[in-house]
Chain A
């Protein structure tokens, strides 16, 4: 997507620059043959644009391998952008290195998918929560203790004294995820990246974790990038949502618009595939997109979804890459179906 963010930025740039700006971001991984010869690139993220305001939540949806993890890791500063830039809080990632890069990273909270794997098993909760503070120069022991106490109370992990000496394996999955959230929040970041924060939890604790995240977002005026493949949990959260396919954004809209009136055939298919707990649906046969996500080394020409698309138009979709069409205010779709001339006149 190349020119989609004019409209969004116009509305969000009320008070200066947005908190996070993704500009034409490419993240490519080089493939090597026999350990040294060049054998092409994996185009995990291929030209992504969007921006995020202070206090705003945005959801990123897509199936496995669509590049959402690479996008997330690049925003966190763990990956290096191949092309394009990430500008967070007036810091450009492409020019940041060394200690500044570490500072950049520490300003973004990171909530991972697997809470048990995300916590070092040999550290107790107190040490786990102290680590970010120590690394980022909070040398006063009393201050560290008070910040740990405050954040644990915010994620409702009380009584604090009982939790602190415990090791991760002594906590339940929900409690572990609260520790992960507390650790992500302890540096008081302005942006929180949540990578499927509830997908590995029991259904019974999912809502509670989502509520904690929502509450933190409101009380800290926190911007949240919520990454998921599960459309049933996004409603809780975000104002905006975008759908990724094969390293590109295919649809961008307000939450309700996208969920109630999906435009892109792929979004349609995703919504079809997500479960809807209604007894009437038990016998309904659903149309699931055939095939698999395409290779990111040699993506299909034209629209990347065309080999699987039910509305495939030969000679257009497989030739020309679709630009973003604005179907309604702040609802952008990259699909030739929404061109007035169905792509013929372009």
Chain B
């Protein structure tokens, strides 16, 4: 054990290994923190909750930091929610039962592109008489545009871009035929053509509440073309959820599969070598037969016909790797160790087979399996992603591979949503690279003969 620790300390001599260790460390930290801040059930609720959960999020928005690299700033989301106290409406009693409420949504719009959607969500409580709302759009240059009126229900959404009366009014005011509502609302009339007017906009909503008990909450959302750290997908879902939750799943899948397959193949090899004879022969034949059984098609078959649960897939991978080709490598080492004089000595003082296998044979190769495990991890991470990309990913869990699969089916690359594919791919590559860098360094430390190479 001490030898292993001092060998790990030698890792510091390899800069690539240090970088790899830092990356693995970060991935592990994310893997631990993610389930704490966003428990499994919460993640599933968010990811599978549908449009209601994500209705304030834009569709297919790029990550916010994309604006740092482009000369035109894409619109970011603006969300002003009266129920969360973003604005405080003022009320005026105008008759015994009726109150008039003023909601004033003011926001800065310093971007170069139009928002894709502008929606006002209203949630009213009333007994029989619906509150009535009148909207006025005030541009930075002081123009006031009547932006329609509506009767609020428990769940009303006012989509400005679908208001044809508003669209005709804006056509008249701007003199541009075929202008959309959003272009009209954000247009700079002093400039040629349709261009965004930057500055502070305001949406004033005047609400009449006809019952003393009735309430009205309204949320104004100007959807962006960029959103958050990782952007959003076609169902308005924030990709950070999947990227964060993909980390512990990838780590768990990779590490569990690597550790289990290594431990089982090594134990089987040790048992076979020690027992010898037909047992060893049988293990060898099973290994060879197993080697020609293709793993991926079996996984695809099970995924298609039975279940796509990630844990079932993990179990299958482990079961099919129990008699993996690694047995051959370990067997070669054990055959050598078996002939060591200290094994003879152990037999001479009465050690039984189990003791010899677990106390004398296996400890000798432990230094070799540490790099082996680390190098195996990325393979299994990629395998999980491959399954997801092939459409056999876990139907419930958000994973990196699942994101790539979603992006692929939605034609992300044709539509220019590069971030959707690049972010999970980059994480996969970084994770694989980190494990490979640490693994190769460990290999050099534990197998000194490789050092000259």
When the two chains form the complex, which single residue of A73, A105, A114, A122 contacts B350, counting CB atoms closer than 8 Å? A105
Compute how far the CA of A112 lies from the CA of B342 in the bound complex, rounded to whole angstroms: 9
CB-nearest residue of chain B to A189: B349
Contacts of A73 in B (CB 8 A): 344
**Does residue A4 face the partner (Cβ distance < 8 Å to B)?**
no
Q: Contact at A102–B350, with CB atoms within 8 Å?
A: yes
Contacts of A131 in B (CB 8 A): 346, 349, 351, 359
What 5 pairs across the A-B complex have the smallest Cβ distances?
A106-B350, A132-B349, A110-B348, A117-B341, A102-B350
Q: Contact at B3–A112, with CB atoms within 8 Å?
A: no
CB-nearest residue of chain B to A137: B350
Q: Contact at A119–B342, with CB atoms within 8 Å?
A: yes
Q: Contact at B349–A187, with CB atoms within 8 Å?
A: yes
**Does residue A120 face the partner (Cβ distance < 8 Å to B)?**
yes
Compute how far the CA of A73 lies from the CA of B343 in the bound complex, rounded to whole angstroms: 13
A interface with B by C-beta (< 8 Å): 73, 76-78, 102-103, 105-106, 108, 110, 112-114, 117-123, 131-132, 135-136, 180, 183, 187
Q: Contact at B347–A105, with CB atoms within 8 Å?
A: yes
**Does residue B340 face the partner (Cβ distance < 8 Å to A)?**
yes
Q: Contact at B347–A78, with CB atoms within 8 Å?
A: yes
Expressed in whole angstroms, the minimum distance between the Cβ of A151 and any Cβ of chain B is 13
Interchain Cβ contacts under 8 Å between A and B, 8 examples: A78-B344, A108-B348, A110-B345, A120-B363, A131-B351, A135-B350, A136-B350, A180-B345
CB-nearest residue of chain A to B344: A78
Contacts of B3 in A (CB 8 A): 122
B interface with A by C-beta (< 8 Å): 3, 340-342, 344-352, 355, 359-360, 363-364, 366
Q: Contact at B349–A135, with CB atoms within 8 Å?
A: yes
Expressed in whole angstroms, the minimum distance between the Cβ of B332 and any Cβ of chain A is 18
Q: A112-B344, A123-B363 are in contact. List 12 more A-B contacts (CB 8 A).
A: A78-B348, A106-B349, A110-B349, A114-B341, A118-B342, A118-B345, A119-B342, A120-B342, A120-B346, A135-B355, A183-B345, A187-B349
Contacts of A121 in B (CB 8 A): 364
Compute how far the CA of A239 lies from the CA of B352 in the bound complex, rounded to whole angstroms: 35
CB-nearest residue of chain A to B350: A106
Of A76, A122, A123, most buried by chain B (CB within 10 Å of CB) is A122
Compute how far the CA of A76 lies from the CA of B347 in the bound complex, rounded to whole angstroms: 9
Contacts of A76 in B (CB 8 A): 348
When the two chains form the complex, which single residue of A105, A113, A122 contacts B349, counting CB atoms closer than 8 Å? A105
Expressed in whole angstroms, the minimum distance between the Cβ of A163 and any Cβ of chain B is 17
Contacts of B345 in A (CB 8 A): 110, 112, 118-119, 180, 183
Compute how far the CA of A234 lies from the CA of B421 in the bound complex, rounded to whole angstroms: 79
CB-nearest residue of chain A to B351: A135
